[in-house]
């Protein structure tokens, strides 16, 4: 089977890129896989690409800089999509040309605007699958309306959590389109053990966290909670990995709380697993997560995670009290208490880390690839019945509009 992924820019760094490369490599065990990158800005991708996977860039921002279409605003890519300013009439044109001639059996889009290209231009003989790496509620009302009009022509919409799939089923009527959740795949980090059984022995007095330094990730809440932890446990430190617009504010907060030397902003590191393996706890204080890649990455290293029970991912990843801890969103005291409890209980921390490592095996890319293969088979088998559902819904819609039309 020929499978093609459509991605924003495989040459950059980001969670969608990582999980797409993980899934592509797993599928390449049995299929011919291509990744089509809408944009390219450098010679080589920053992440390693499986040599069995073909990468095809559509618009090279270096070679195409003089093309006048590159400097004209996109007409097909939705203006309400947050990446709109990076798209142009040239990306519209190249996407149309590539997709209309694409010979893939399955084509998978990986962000909303690209999924519009998929719906508009991809051949109907191919299975057309839209992935959602954010969530329904993270999109504006204007964008959701445009997506609803285009997604009706797709075969499936895949979210990363069951909770988000339920929201889409309730709020975006897509007859004939399968809406389901398949989690992101995270490979075994392959780190050498320090005690013969796990990548960490659970004794390093370090709490780690990682993500974009933006307000929604609530690293400020984590720093505030660590202020309480640091007062009780003088040998423990906090390391925050990531880059972003909130860096200066977070650095000031560290200094204001007297945590210089105890809490540090470490900068962006990728892959992050080697740094997580140097810690004994990983923390997440987010107000919202579309999935929670860093939670799974920590668990695959055998590190227990303390996370806020925010929408939508953590509760589907962590079994509270078994392989990690969930605390109420925005509750500094609860976060500090959960961290302190794990610090004080090293044997329990080790047991929880082992449970986390075992539980996280369900996110292995091979399992995720198998879920997609089952989806491909189901979509192919139900193509005719889903087409009938789509036609019936459109007929009812036309009849409804006619009945509502005022008589002259």
Domain at 346, CATH number? 3.40.50.2000
* C-beta separation of 99 from 123 below 8 A: yes
Within a 10 A sphere around the Cβ of 364, how many other Cβ atoms?
Answer: 17
Beta-bridge partners for 67: none
Question: pLDDT-based confidence at 271, cuts 50/70/90?
Answer: confident
* Residue 320 sits in the same domain as residue 335: yes
* Within-domain flag for 169: yes
Please indicate whether residue 14 or residue 329 has the higher confidence score (pLDDT): 329
- b/e map of 115-133 (b: 16 or more CB within 10 Å)? bbbbbbbbeeebbbbbbbb
- The pLDDT, as a whole number, for residue 400 is 74
Whether pLDDT at 207 is above 60: yes
User: pLDDT digit string (tens) for 91-123?
Assistant: 999 999 999 999 999 999 999 999 999 999 999
Residue 15, domain member (yes or no) = yes
Strand, helix or coil for residue 345: coil
List, for residues 374-407, the tens digit of each pLDDT value: 999 999 999 999 999 988 888 877 777 777 776 5
- Residue 152 has a pLDDT of 94
Asked if 172 and 225 sit in the same domain, the reply is no
Band (pLDDT 50/70/90 cuts) for residue 155 is: very high
Q: Is residue 198 part of a domain?
A: no
Closest CA to 285 of 355, 225, 198: 225
At 311 the pLDDT is 87
Confidence (pLDDT) at 164: 96
pLDDT band at 199 (very low <50, low <70, confident <90, very high): very low
Q: 210 and 157, same structural domain? A: no
**Residue 279 and residue 352 in one domain:** yes
Q: Do 104 and 153 belong together in one domain?
A: yes
Mean pLDDT of the chain: 94
Residue 242 within any structural domain of the chain:
yes
Per-residue confidence (pLDDT) for residue 190, from 0 to 100 = 84
What would the mean pLDDT of 173-177 be, rounded to a whole number?
A: 95
Residues 350 and 383 in one domain: no
Mean pLDDT of 171-195: 86
Which stretch of DSSP H or E encloses residue 254? helix 247-256
Provide the pLDDT for residue 202: 64
Percent of the chain exceeding pLDDT 70 equals 97
Residue 179 lies in a domain: yes
Residues 20 and 102 grouped into a single domain: yes
Range in 186-195, 211-220, 256-265, 363-372 the model is least confident about:
186-195
Is 212 domain-assigned?
yes
User: Confidence class of residue 196 from pLDDT cuts 50, 70 and 90?
Assistant: very low
Q: Are residues 298 and 348 in the same domain?
A: yes
Tell me: do 305 and 239 sit in the same domain.
yes
Over the stretch 70-82, which tens digit does the pLDDT of each residue have? 999 999 999 999 9
Same domain, yes or no, for 218 and 319? yes
Q: Label residue 15 by pLDDT band (50, 70, 90).
A: confident
Shared domain for 359 and 377, answered yes or no, is no
Domain count, the chain: 2
> With contact defined as beta carbons under 8 Å apart, do 104 and 4 qualify?
yes
Structure confidence by residue, pLDDT tens digits, 32-83: 999 999 999 999 999 999 999 999 999 999 999 999 999 999 999 999 999 9
Q: Is residue 201 in a domain?
A: no
Where in the sequence is the domain holding 122, given as residue range(s)? 2-185+367-400
- Indicate if 40 and 161 belong to the same structural domain: yes
Q: Measuring CA to CA, which residue among 109, 113, 108, 5 is closest to residue 49?
A: 5
Residue 194 forms part of a structural domain: no
- What confidence score (pLDDT) does residue 396 get? 78
């Amino acid at each position: 089977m020929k499978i093609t992924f459509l991605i924003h820019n495989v040459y950059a760094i980001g969670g969608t890129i990582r999980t797409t490369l993980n899934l592509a490599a797993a599928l390449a065990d049995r299929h011919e896989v291509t990744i089509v990158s809408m944009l390219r800005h450098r010679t080589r991708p920053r992440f390693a690409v499986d040599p069995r996977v073909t990468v095809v860039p559509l618009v090279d921002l270096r070679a195409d800089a003089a093309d006048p279409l590159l400097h004209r605003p996109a007409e097909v890519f939705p203006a309400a999509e947050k990446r709109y300013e990076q798209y142009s009439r040239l990306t519209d044109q190249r996407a149309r040309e590539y997709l209309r001639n694409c010979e893939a059996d399955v084509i998978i889009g990986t962000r909303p605007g690209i999924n519009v290209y998929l719906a508009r231009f991809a051949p109907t003989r191919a299975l057309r699958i839209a992935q959602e790496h954010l969530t329904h509620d993270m999109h504006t009302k204007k964008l959701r309306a445009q997506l609803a009009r285009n997604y009706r022509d797709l075969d499936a919409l895949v979210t990363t959590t069951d909770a988000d799939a339920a929201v889409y089923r309730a709020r975006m009527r897509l007859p004939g389109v399968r809406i389901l959740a398949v989690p992101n795949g995270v490979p075994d980090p392959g780190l050498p053990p320090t005690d013969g059984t796990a990548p960490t022995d659970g004794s390093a007095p370090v709490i780690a966290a990682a993500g974009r330094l933006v307000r929604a990730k609530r690293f400020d809440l984590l720093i505030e909670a660590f202020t309480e932890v640091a007062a009780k446990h003088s040998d423990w430190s906090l390391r925050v990995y990531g880059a972003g617009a909130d860096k200066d504010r977070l650095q000031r907060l560290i200094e204001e709380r007297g945590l210089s030397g105890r809490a540090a902003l470490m900068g962006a590191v990728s892959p992050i697993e080697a740094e997580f393996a140097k810690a004994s706890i990983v923390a997440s204080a987010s107000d919202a997560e579309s999935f929670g890649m860093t939670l799974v990455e920590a668990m695959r290293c055998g590190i227990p995670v303390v996370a806020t029970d925010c929408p939508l991912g953590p509760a589907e990843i962590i079994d509270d009290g078994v392989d990690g801890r969930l605390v109420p969103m925005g509750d500094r005291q609860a976060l500090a208490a959960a961290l302190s409890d794990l610090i004080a209980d090293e044997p329990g921390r080790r047991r929880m880390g082992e449970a986390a490592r075992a539980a996280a095996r369900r996110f292995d890319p091979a399992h995720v690839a198998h879920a997609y293969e089952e989806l491909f088979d189901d979509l192919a088998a139900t193509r005719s019945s889903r087409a009938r559902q789509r036609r019936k819904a459109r007929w009812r819609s036309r009849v409804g509009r006619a009945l509502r039309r005022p008589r002259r």
